[in-house]
Amino acid sequence: MKFLIFENEFNLFEDVFHAFNMIFYGGKLSWIVKQSSQELKDIQEINNYDVIFVDIDLSKNSIKDGFEIMNDIYKVNSNANVVVLTGHGAIEKKLEERLDHHKRYKILNKPITIEELQNSVKV
Amino acid sequence: MSYLTKISFTNITSIIYRICIIIYSLFLVYNLPINFIYNIILALVYLYISYLFIKFNNKSKWISRTRLLTDFIYMFLVIYINNLEPNYLLYFYLLIPFINLLNHSSKVLNPLISIVNVTLPFSFLAYYVYSIDYIKLYFLPLLVISILYFLAYSKISIISYSNSLNSIFQTFYRDKFTTKSTHHILKKLIFEHNKSENIFVNRLKINNVIIFKVSKRGNIKLLLGSDFISYYLIDDPQILLDKLSTNLYIKNHQFIYNLTSSKTNIFINITVSNNSYILAIDLKQTFSYNFILDIYISKFLLPFFNKLIDVIDYEYSLGLERKRQIIEISKDLQLTQGIINSVHYLNNKLNPVVTYFDLKKNQKFVSEEFREDYDKLILASEKKASRIIVPVIQKMRRMLSTHSKNSLYDTEIISFKRLFSIIRDVFNEEEYLSLIVEENPTFNFDDKLLCNSETLSYAIEEIIINLSKYSDGKCVVNFAQYEDFAIVTFTNRFHNKQKSSSELAEIIKLFNKDGINEILRKNNHGLRIIKEYFTLNNISHNILIEDEYFILKLKIKKHII
């Protein structure tokens, strides 16, 4: 199982991912973290991952925000498993407004717990 | 719609005019009864043709001229058939211009056209029916009548002009009144002014009217113009202001607007509520009769522009109020945004704390293989959590102190008059509760207090909402004067069916305590708001129940400068 994570403050969440890996995946889970949209050189790479986590508010250095990254992802793979990471409440309406097409995605509210993380990656 | 309702006042004027002609003709015929039956037939035919003209109600120029021609044919035939004495004929024709002074469209006819219209057929008749010498006899009365007619025409046309100026405001208030559309009044003014046929008004054709506001520092700033003004430059503005302070108006002060150089103009200064406005009227041609210009400006333009400046000044005040509200709203928006950012910040930064407890909670699910690594992870998470707590608390304190400075905490100095008007306005909005103010001649309403008028209004609104639930419909307000404070007392007879006496006594006890009790905070929103806002405004408050009277006393500190 491989995760692609767009998050600029991953150090605040990485312990949850490690614990989740130990409990549910026997240490076989791997992930790559991108702090900005431009760190992903080729958008086609998303097809190499099982789940893609996208933080809506990325760092100021990121050229694209989470909504734009999601639109890029769905252009390449409309069935991609995307989990939206957010510290804001009521993000659904904004997602409806900003996404080009209504797609399936899950929302993971910060702070994250192991149980919520597990629920978000269940296919 | 019935035919009668279609007949306008102007139609009636026209009908009366023709009836007058017939009556006069019959009067002449009665006095000189020649061919009586022919006269009756002639009158009936004329009456029927006139009826047809009115029925078709066509206002085209040609129909109007044909109608006038019919009138003259009828007059000619009456004279011709009856072979009238010249004197009768003279009186008859000389009166006609007055009868038909206001024509069917209630517009004033040009005196020259009107007199020629009426007298030309007369001259024609005088020549053919009588003799050419008679024209000499006719000339003198015609001259006198023409002068009288001209004066009457001038008076009516000036009244008509004045009415047209006044109707601009009526139309504006009825159809177009929205703020920022006042320039329509100026456009309409120029239109009505320039189309006036009054011989004097006609010589003062207007190009543009531009209104400036004089700032507190004495700068002249453009407010609006009848046309869109992109650029303006007034020569020696200070000299203009100085001259306007001692004169009703200033003529021909050079200024440029929209690359047009205005050399023939009138500047007028009007002051409303301490706000000074300057009107620049750019004229199409020069006008040199100062005496007449004085009358024109003082009797026509000033009353008109005074009304206009009232509207503009009102708009200006509304604009200031709107700006103030936008500042308040933006403060509130900043506060809301600050709260959103704070929540986002907390959700992110508190993650290690949540993770630490979550790891501990899930420890039991970890297999033996990862036990050691998992324990190390818990330790690492604990360190992160402990590291993050202090900065989070510090940041939240900073945010709290920043966002406490919002509009609810801003105070202003207001008079007790203003406080009274706040109370009165809130009561006026309440349908089922009337306010009775106990007169107290010793109370000085000019005394000042320091408060936030918005929160004070909210608190008073909450009082009224609560009173209207339990009151018998009347609330007596009393203002009592003390040296450095005032006591405002609200008294009303109340009925309480919802709460027991002990419950009510408990609530009142909580309300009268210093500080906001948590129970009051949870259970009684209205009283909590009242208490919170009074506390914010440093107003001591106390509720008493005496017999069946509910009494709320507010002790308000005076602001002594």
B62 lies in the same domain as B153:
yes
Are B347 and A26 within 8 A, CB to CB? no
At B190, which CATH number? 3.30.450
- What is A2-121's CATH number, 3.40.50.300, 3.40.50.2300, 3.40.50.12280, 2.60.40.10? 3.40.50.2300
C-alpha span between B222 and B210 (Å, rounded): 8
Token output for B460: 């008073």
B134 lies in the same domain as B39:
yes
- Residues B230-270 have pLDDT tens digits of 778 888 889 999 999 888 888 889 898 877 888 889 999 99
C-alpha span between B284 and B83 (Å, rounded): 54
**Would you list which residues of chain B are within 8 Å, Cβ to Cβ, of chain A?**
340, 343-345, 347-355, 358-359, 362, 365-367, 369-370, 373-374, 377, 380-381, 384
Q: Which of A12, A26, A89 sits opposite B348 (nearest CB)?
A: A12
Are B348 and A88 within 8 A, CB to CB? no
Which pLDDT score is estimated for B2? 41
Shortest distance between the Cα of B399 and any Cα of chain A, in A, equals: 17
- ipTM of the complex model: 0.86
Mean pLDDT, residues B93-98:
55
Domain extent for B277 = 182-320
B153 lies in the same domain as B14:
yes
Q: Which pairs from B106-109 meet CB under 8 Å and 24+ separation?
A: B106/B9, B106/B10, B106/B13, B107/B160, B108/B153, B108/B156, B108/B157, B108/B160, B108/B197, B109/B153
Which pLDDT score is estimated for B9? 46
Asked if pLDDT for residue B347 goes beyond 80, the answer is yes
Candidates B202, B214, B187, B418; CA nearest to B308 is B187
Token output for A106: 């899950």
| Interfacial A residues in 35-54 facing B (CB < 8 Å) | none
Which pLDDT score is estimated for B526? 72
Which pLDDT score is estimated for A73? 94
Q: Indicate the residue among B163, B195, B217 that finishes a domain.
A: B163
pLDDT tier at A83 (50, 70, 90 boundaries)?
very high
B432 lies in the same domain as B485:
yes
Q: Which of A23, A88, A113 sits opposite B366 (nearest CB)?
A: A23
At B537, which CATH number? 3.30.565.10
Region for residue B109 given its phi and psi (left: phi exceeds 0; alpha: psi -120 to 50; beta: otherwise): beta
A interface test, pick of B339, B358, B376 with most A CB neighbours within 10 Å? B358
Q: Which residues of B385-418 are buried (b: 16+ CB within 10 A; e: fewer)?
A: beebeeebeeeeeebeeebeeebbeeeeebebeb
B137 lies in the same domain as B269:
no
pLDDT tier at B105 (50, 70, 90 boundaries)?
very low
CA geometry: angle B116, B117, B121, nearest 5 deg = 95
Mean pLDDT, residues B450-464:
80
Compute CA A106 distance to the chain's CA centroid, rounded to the nearest angstrom.
9
Asked if pLDDT for residue B3 goes beyond 50, the answer is no
Q: Is A119 on the interface with B (CB under 8 A)?
A: no
- Residues B260-269 have pLDDT tens digits of 888 889 999 9
C-alpha span between B14 and B157 (Å, rounded): 19
Q: Are B543 and B511 a contacting pair, CB within 8 Å?
A: yes
pLDDT tier at B294 (50, 70, 90 boundaries)?
confident
Shortest distance between the Cα of A81 and any Cα of chain B, in A, equals: 23
In chain A, where the domains are located: 2-121
Side-chain-facing half-sphere of B197: CA atoms under 13 Å: 14
C-alpha span between B540 and B426 (Å, rounded): 21
Asked if pLDDT for residue B96 goes beyond 70, the answer is no
CB atoms within 10 A of CB B375: 13
DSSP code, position B109? P
Mean pLDDT, residues B193-208:
80
C-alpha span between B185 and B163 (Å, rounded): 15
C-alpha span between B433 and B340 (Å, rounded): 40
Q: Which of A18, A23, A87 sits opposite B344 (nearest CB)?
A: A87
Which pLDDT score is estimated for B88? 59
Which pLDDT score is estimated for A49? 95
Which pLDDT score is estimated for B228? 80
Compute CA A62 distance to the chain's CA centroid, rounded to the nearest angstrom.
15
Shortest distance between the Cα of B405 and any Cα of chain A, in A, equals: 24
Question: Of the ranges B17-26, B102-111, B127-136, B514-523, which one carries the lowest mean pLDDT score?
Answer: B102-111
Asked if pLDDT for residue B164 goes beyond 70, the answer is yes
Helix residue ranges per DSSP H, B196-301: 237-246, 290-296
B291 lies in the same domain as B367:
no
Asked if pLDDT for residue A50 goes beyond 80, the answer is yes
Chain A residue with minimum CA distance to B388: A12
The CA-based diameter of chain B, rounded to the nearest angstrom, is 143
Q: Are A59 and A37 a contacting pair, CB within 8 Å?
A: no
Asked if pLDDT for residue B4 goes beyond 50, the answer is no
Contacts of B340 in chain A (CB under 8 A): 88
Candidates B67, B17, B71, B68; CA nearest to B42 is B71
Contacts of A115 in chain B (CB under 8 A): 358
Of residues B149 and B539, more confidence is placed in B539
B435 lies in the same domain as B508:
yes
Q: Is A19 on the interface with B (CB under 8 A)?
A: yes
Question: Of the ranges B88-92, B386-390, B511-515, which one carries the lowest mean pLDDT score?
Answer: B88-92
B354 lies in the same domain as B254:
no
Asked if pLDDT for residue B145 goes beyond 50, the answer is yes
Candidates B267, B271, B264; CA nearest to B247 is B267
Question: Of the ranges A34-43, B338-347, B354-363, which one carries the lowest mean pLDDT score?
Answer: B338-347
Q: What is the mean pLDDT of chain B?
A: 76
Asked if pLDDT for residue B337 goes beyond 90, the answer is no
Q: Which of A12, A19, A89 sits opposite B359 (nearest CB)?
A: A19
B355 lies in the same domain as B499:
no
Task: Establish if B172 belongs to a structural domain.
Answer: no
Number of domains in chain B: 4
Compute CA B120 distance to the chain's CA centroid, rounded to the nearest angstrom.
51
Mean pLDDT, residues B498-517:
75
The secondary structure element, H or E, covering residue B277 is: strand B275-283
Shortest distance between the Cα of B332 and any Cα of chain A, in A, equals: 19
Asked if pLDDT for residue B484 goes beyond 80, the answer is yes
Task: Establish if B152 belongs to a structural domain.
Answer: yes
Mean pLDDT, residues A30-37:
92
Task: Establish if B337 belongs to a structural domain.
Answer: no
Which pLDDT score is estimated for A48? 94
Task: Establish if B453 belongs to a structural domain.
Answer: yes
User: Which of helix, strand or coil describes residue A108?
Assistant: strand
Mean pLDDT, residues B425-435:
65
CB atoms within 10 A of CB B56: 10
B interface test, pick of A10, A22, A29 with most B CB neighbours within 10 Å? A22
Contacts of B352 in chain A (CB under 8 A): 12, 15
Q: Indicate the residue among B163, B197, B226 that finishes a domain.
A: B163
Q: Is A107 on the interface with B (CB under 8 A)?
A: no
What percentage of chain B carries pLDDT values higher than 90? 10
pLDDT tier at B5 (50, 70, 90 boundaries)?
very low
To which residue do tokens 């002990």 refer? B502
